[in-house]
Chain A
């Protein structure tokens, strides 16, 4: 089922959580709403779910207006950030809940409910914990139960609010791969909220990057990462070096002019190269201040000739080859620069 949100505005008192936001989600896609806290991503998700009503704007499911339907009528599966499992019910009863509360005419028989729950328990690999209470489960297990509970009612849309937000890094990694696999099997239109750019890039088909109640860019992970259209998107998706200045094409002078009135130049740390010699291309000089070689990449902090800090990432092989040492003066060659006009930033 496709989802379309048109011109959604939502205010909480003086605070504008969503400011004329429009978003289209094609059927069967897994879409991430990515942004820092307070960017309105959870509010947008709740408006889509019908748990929150927009001050203006409409929400369409498969082209049908659902703006005035409640969450109950929209038939969405919602997974809450803190799981919201029913604490007095077992895992089995939690998953069966959505089926048991159906009107008598639509309610499946006891055997059918049992079969459905068993099938879901198998899907989330928790078959042996059906009789446990939520308080006896780990965070990752609770999260999977919450997901199974949402899927039990066979929703047309699955909405997940920071699904892995409160899990530790390792479990998080496993669960998000599992979610991706699950989506490839079930193919239900899904939207999930996250503040973790890595998570969004890894899991989703498309990403909507949000900031201050607006959508900055919508696109595939590749698009938003490699072709960001606003400084915010560039900044939010991955580390970045930011210089105020102007690009110099002249080979003999520094590649970047430091100027307070110039444009803003963005360059990712791994797109900077360190050299001992200026090999002809545009470059600038810098002094190495700190080296962190733990991890897959070596992170080098340096100070440019005009006094700005710069971060460079290079491979371990390259690092060993260069024998870089602290306080050494080197040449930095940018391989790719992204320039945003001054007006865009301010």
Chain B
């Protein structure tokens, strides 16, 4: 492992190290760093601290009690349910799409890439509205759904659909550059050695992209649990039934139950912190892998 660690250590440092030509005077460096620190403190650390201090303002008893109300528990369950359905589906889709884009050339490839990015560029509220217009009572498919007694809007399926839509690009976007950098020689080698398509995928392709995939999953999950806009439009805010955690926070806040609102919010903030740590770890691993495959290809030329 000695050589690979050495190489991995070298790549990022070469990117960030200041040379004589690009270096700045000490004063400039301090001012820039200072501005960044002040900005971070004002806009990130202080709000985060307030979330936790407000949540605990009335003591641990109130904190636990407000998390254990039936409505809060239902919101947590629904959020978890939406994530549990949306994340695996987007993993399957993301891997398939990235695989197709990274390894093959086909007609309409750039269109597919654009479509994958669509949920990033569309406002979440619009994403929610799309589903209302499709599946709502006055929507295109509304009457048909009503006849068959299926409810999508203002029900769990709508929330899951909206969550899937907004988290659509995360996995695919992570994997496309990785797969493109790796080329397809290893897959060709596996097939020439007699491996089937599935064996090639699970034994060769998947291990090569696992860190990138995990990174995508973490981001996808964070967004799935935290999504507000799109879910808000399709949910209907029925307490205990179609309220996710972010929606529940809003309702509590509007009802002046600040401690309870911040208690639920603190769970989301915790999720964000856990995501951040996991993301940093995986990102580091993934970057190392990308650097290695770049080196791998570069060296061979």
Contacts and interface: CB of A to CB of B under 8 A. Distances in A.
A77 B193 CA distance: 7
B290 to A, nearest CB: 12
A169 interface: no
A70 B194 CA distance: 10
Nearest to B184: A84
A80 B203 contact: no
Interface in A102-147: 102, 133, 135-136, 139
Contact of A153 (B4, B194, B196): B194
Nearest to A78: B192
A102 B189 CA distance: 15
Given A135-B292, A136-B3, A70 B191 contact: yes
A75 B301 contact: no
Interface in A76-109: 76-78, 80-88, 97-98, 101-102
B188 A135 contact: no
Interface string B224-259: 000000000000000000000000000000000000
Nearest to A93: B203
A37 to B, nearest CB: 13
A150 B203 CA distance: 17
Interface in B250-301: 292-293, 295-297, 299-301
A49 interface: yes
Contacts of A291: none
Interface string B166-185: 00000000000000000001
Nearest to B203: A101
B56 interface: no
Contacts of B3: 135-136
B195 interface: yes
B199 A78 contact: no
Contacts of B300: 81-83, 166
B80 interface: no
A302 to B, nearest CB: 38
Chain A interface main SS type: loop
B208 A78 contact: no
Instruction: Pick the most buried of B2, B186, B192, B299: most chain A CB atoms within 10 A of its CB.
Output: B192
B296 A98 contact: no
Contacts of A98: 193-195
A206 interface: no
B186 A84 contact: yes
B293 A97 contact: no
A87 B193 contact: no
Contacts of B189: 78, 80, 84-86, 149
A87 B186 contact: yes
A11 B192 CA distance: 22
B297 A97 contact: no
B48 interface: no
A312 to B, nearest CB: 37
A71 interface: yes
B193 A135 contact: no
Nearest to A76: B192
Given A86-B204, A136-B4, A166-B301, A72 B196 contact: yes
Interface of B: 1-4, 7, 185-186, 188-196, 199, 203-204, 207-208, 292-293, 295-297, 299-301
Given A75-B194, A150-B193, 10 more contacts: A49-B192, A71-B192, A84-B189, A87-B296, A101-B199, A135-B4, A135-B295, A135-B296, A136-B1, A152-B193
Interface of A: 49-51, 70-72, 75-78, 80-88, 97-98, 101-102, 133, 135-136, 139, 149-150, 152-153, 166
